[in-house]
Structures are given as C-alpha cells and as structure tokens.
A = this chain, B = another copy of it.
Amino acid sequence: MSIAEAGEFGLIARVVARLENGPATLLGPGDDSAIVAAPDGRIVASTDVLVEGRHFRRDWSSGADVGHRAAAANLADIAAMGAVPTALLIGLCAPNDLDLAWAEDLAGGLSDEAARTGASVVGGDTSFSPTLTIAVTALGDLGGQAPVLRSGAQPGDVIALAGRIGHAAAGYTVLSRGFRTPKALVEAYRRPVVPYAAGPAAARAGATAMIDVSDGLLQDLGHIANASVVGVDVRTGAFEVSSQMRDAAAALGVDPLQWILAGGDDHALAATFPPGVELPAGWTVVGKVHEGTGVTVDGKPWSGPVGWDHFR
C-alpha cells in the first residue's frame, strides 16, 4: 500500500504505532505540540535534513537504515555538546507512491536509534512532496554540565577521538562502485555506530572543545581550529586500519587514509583535552593542538580532500 492510499491520518497512525516513549517524554504525538522534560533548565537543540539522492539512496539503504542514520546524525550533534539526547521531532516529506511499509520502517529505525540514547520520537509532521526528505530535530539535556563548544581548544591540548572513523566512507565507496560487500563496511555506512555516551563523559572529564565528525575529520577539526584560533596536527600513526578496510582499499585502489582523514558519516566524536587529563574510556589521542592556525597531518599540509561531498 502506498502512503497516498493510506492517507495522511492513516500514515501518521501507522508511523506513530512504531514509536516508543522514552523517560523524557511528558506528552508524545497527537496534540499541537509535544512536551519534553528539560531538567537542566537549558535545552540543546539541533536540526539536520536528509534529501534522497543527496544524503541517502533507497537502493542502498532500507527504510530502517535511513531512520537509524537520520537519527544518528542528529543525536551525535547533541552528544558533541556534552549533552544526553531526550527527544526527536521528524518532518517527513514523501512522494505519493512511497510504500507505507518503508515509512513505517523509517519510523522504527528512528525510534530504535533514539532508544540507544534514552531518547524517543515525540512528534513531527508529514507532507506529500516529489522529493523524499527527512528533517530531524534532536533535543538534549546538559545535566548540569557546561556545554563543550568548538571554541575552547588551547595550545598544548591533546586531540582525541571516540568511535569508528573511515568505515562509513569505505562502505560508501564500496556501494558507489556497485558492490554490496564487505558487509561490515557497508553496514557501517548504513547504520553508523555512534559513541553517544562518550560526549557527556568527555564533558565531565574536562574536554575543552568537541565536535561531531560528520563531514570528515580534517574538515571538522578545521572548525575547531577556526573557532578556537589554534592550529591542529593529526598523527596518522594513531589510526588503526582494520584488515578489512585495508583489503577493500587495495581492491578498490583507494588510500585507506583518505577514508579516515576525509570520510564522513561515521559520526565519531573529536574533542580536545588539557594535557595530563586522564581520557574517559573509548577516547584515543590522535593529535595535538598548537599555537597557529589550520590543520596539518604529521606536521605537514595535507594535499588530499579534507571533507566529504554527499553525492556531489
């Protein structure tokens, strides 16, 4: 059945049936607005849009995959402030002939990914549109911690990383060359594994700056360098290249370092910590902050691309 056959209210009923309520949900879907607990007295909020053909392809990803990835992209932005996600709101614009089951799976993926952080989908809106588009807004709570901005890095700080890096970019390359394996890389692209808890843990440990690596490590560290008015140097020796990634890179004629330094979509977290701070579990040092500007790799300018171009 298409969503047009289900009708707007039919679509909403089926989608809402796939959602689960989290502890912060004081009022879920069905009224003019949702109500979400904000015990800190401040709310962290972020919006991302995903457009078919640019951010996802239905022949590469299931509805559930797209839901997981859309939620992850937003929830990672909340974690990167040092906050704990509480809620998602979804704007779904879809063509009339979209399969109702696809929309239901999308809702299930969004809800399941949110549940990993304790958050849930609390509301949204739907409209018909010729272009399948998913707008996600995530809310989060700082739990009394100061937010970790991009602007606090200091010369002498270490740069550390939590989460996988390069896997999603490798999976994207695999898919774009027409392959469906290795499965681990393709799955990394379809459903990023985001270290959500590492964000608040970094805040508690005294992280001075933090960012969600969504566009590519060098480009995103460039945002920290610019906002903090510092220079950043990344050590390539710090990155472990899995044998799977190495084999895929060799088969596809790609430098795996390219995936690691410039690949997006893994939604790892990058943060800076004062020297001597004991890093929380899951964080690994990958470089250093120094006086100056810009981003270097092993002390030298990087000649390759620095960031990820979605379907460009």
Pairwise interchain contact B125-A133, C-beta atoms closer than 8 A: no
Pairwise interchain contact B129-A51, C-beta atoms closer than 8 A: yes
A102 an interface residue at 8 Å Cβ cutoff? no
Number of copies: 2
A176 an interface residue at 8 Å Cβ cutoff? no
Pairwise interchain contact B41-A131, C-beta atoms closer than 8 A: no
Pairwise interchain contact A45-B32, C-beta atoms closer than 8 A: no
| A89/B133 contact (C-beta < 8 A), A35-B147, A44-B34 known | no
Pairwise interchain contact A45-B149, C-beta atoms closer than 8 A: no
Pairwise interchain contact A33-B131, C-beta atoms closer than 8 A: no
A305 an interface residue at 8 Å Cβ cutoff? no
A26 an interface residue at 8 Å Cβ cutoff? yes
Q: Which B residues touch A150, using CB under 8 A?
A: 30-32
Partner of A47, one of B43, B91, B149: B91
A297 an interface residue at 8 Å Cβ cutoff? no
Pairwise interchain contact A127-B51, C-beta atoms closer than 8 A: yes
* Bitwise interface map of A from 208 to 241 toward B, beta carbon under 8 Å scored 1, else 0: 0011100000000000000100000000000000
A49 an interface residue at 8 Å Cβ cutoff? yes
Partner of A45, one of B40, B123, B140: B123
Pairwise interchain contact B122-A27, C-beta atoms closer than 8 A: no
Pairwise interchain contact A123-B47, C-beta atoms closer than 8 A: yes
Which 3 pairs of residues, A with B, have the shortest CB-CB distance?
A135-B135, A38-B38, A131-B131
